[in-house]
Amino acid sequence: MYPEEIVAPMRADLTEVGFEELKTESAVDQHFTDHKGTTLMVINSVCGCAAGAARPGVKWAVQTSDKKPDTLTTVFAGVDAEAVNKAREYTLPYPPSSPSIALFKDGDLVHFIERHHIEGRNAEMIGQHLVEVFKEYC
C-alpha cells in the first residue's frame, strides 16, 4: 500500500477533471447495480506510464471529444485494494492490469485498454484512441 501523501496528487489528477473515486468494494458494486449509460473507469496507478500516458491521455479525450461517457470513475491500484479487486471482476476476462482504462455501456464492458497497450505510447495516442472509442459507444 502506498502512503496517501504520495498518491494524493495522482488521485487529484483525475478527480479535478470530474472523475469520481470509488474507494470501496460496495461503491464499485453500487455504481454498476442497474447502471444505465456509459462509464469510463480508470484503474489508476503510481507508475510512470500512468503519469506520462494514461492520465493525460484520458483527460485530453474527455475534455476534447464531442461524445463523452456519461460517468467518469476511478479506482487506485496499490491503495484501495477492495475497490480495485471488485473493479477487476467487472473487467473479466482480462487479467489484472494497472494502469488500465475500461469503458462500460449499461454495466457491460465494451472496451478495455490494458497496461501493455499503454506502455510505449504517448498521451496523444491514448487520447486519440479513446476519442474513437467514445464515438463508437457513447
Q: Which residues are catalytic?
A: 47, 49
Element holding 117 (H helix, E strand): helix 115-118
DSSP string, 18-81: TPEE--SHHHHHHHHTT--SEEEEEEE-SSHHIIIIIHHHHHHHHHH-SS--SEEEEEETTT-H
